[in-house]
Amino acid sequence: MRIAVTGGTGFVGTRFVAAAVAAGHDVQALTRRPQPDRPDVSWVEGSLEEPDCLRDLVTGANAVVHIAGVINAREAAGFERGNVEGTLAMLAAATAGGVRRFVHVSSLAAREPELSKYGASKARSEELVGSSGLDWAIVRPPAVYGPGDRETLELFRMAKMRLMLLPPSGRVSLIHVDDLVRLLLILAERGEPSAVLFEPDDGRPGGWSHKQLARAIGEAVGRSNLSLSVPKTMLKLGAVVDQLVRREKAKLSADRAAYFSHRDWVVNPERRPPGELWGPQVDTRYGLRETAAWYQAQRWL
């Protein structure tokens, strides 16, 4: 197959490109800046805002896997451009290019669009995909972790320092990046099922409480730790401080604080992919240890 990929230079996208090539497929991947040459990967320089580049991206492709998205922005307009307008542009390119199969990476945040601007933008992107007339599949990952991830890195750093500050008491689902990538590749390869929305996870019923996850990450870095649940008001204050101190590099925005404070980010069991199609293969405790070891080797911790 020839698969057109957006977000191919990001955390999930990098692993997807590698998996697709390993499976024997040709990949055409969008990139904003020059990339090293690699076999079976054709880099298309440009952005989601450039129709000519997107036309080149989908030329000859059998499927589109749309991974690119904005997870952190100062204003709603940033999410709108990246997650809504960007998705609409890819749908238009796929339609014009005759590519029927469209695999869209959304987020569990789309399930609660009133909580955050990010979630609202992802919910809107899902509506566009669902009404596109294409042969589509939507995947809503929960928290994605694994070697190379910078979003969960802060949790590992806190665990190493033996003090973990957590959102208000709640539960979350997790998925290892390689399990997520495997699902995306299956959906692109098979071209079925159609018009489906999946919420995959690590297979743990009821997900992880914040305290359980804190202990598991502590075990992964070899440190016992004290975990404290931070009230929603303090989390919002922390977002203000993070923006003031780290500015563009800030990880905690007011928008992210809003959906971090939600108590239920566990996947809906009825939306898990059917077992005959896909199932998680990475044990989470093993995956957390593997991730911690990778961080250590890269001197990120």
pLDDT given for residue 253 in this prediction: 66
Cα gap 221→203, rounded to integer Å: 23
Strands of the 171-172 sheet, one edge to the other: 208-209, 171-172, 264-265
pLDDT at 73: 85
The pLDDT tens digits for 243-285 are: 655 565 656 666 676 667 788 999 999 999 999 999 999 999 9
Q: pLDDT: is 125 or 252 the higher one? A: 125
pLDDT tens profile 58-69: 999 999 999 999
DSSP conformational letter for 38: B
Q: Please tell me the predicted confidence (pLDDT) of residue 261.
A: 72
**Token digits of residue 34:** 């020059």
- Residues 222-245: tens digit of each pLDDT: 998 888 777 666 655 655 555 655
The answer to whether residue 81 scores a pLDDT higher than 70 is: yes
pLDDT band for 165, please (50, 70, 90 cuts). confident
- Cα 162 to chain centroid distance, Å, stands at 27
pLDDT averaged over every residue in the chain? 92
Q: Tell me if residue 82 falls in helix, strand or coil.
A: helix
Mean pLDDT of the region 97-116: 96
Q: Give domain 2-144+175-202+267-282's CATH superfamily.
A: NAD(P)-binding Rossmann-like Domain (3.40.50.720)
**H-only helix segments in the chain:** 11-22, 51-58, 76-79, 86-97, 117-130, 153-160, 177-190, 210-221, 232-246, 254-260, 284-298
Averaged over 107-134, what is the pLDDT?
96
Tell me: pLDDT of 118 over 90: yes
pLDDT bin (cut points 50, 70, 90) of residue 164 is confident
Checking if the pLDDT of 75 tops 60, the result is yes
> What pTM was estimated for this model as a whole?
0.93
Q: What is the pLDDT of residues 174-190, one digit of tens each?
A: 999 999 999 999 999 99
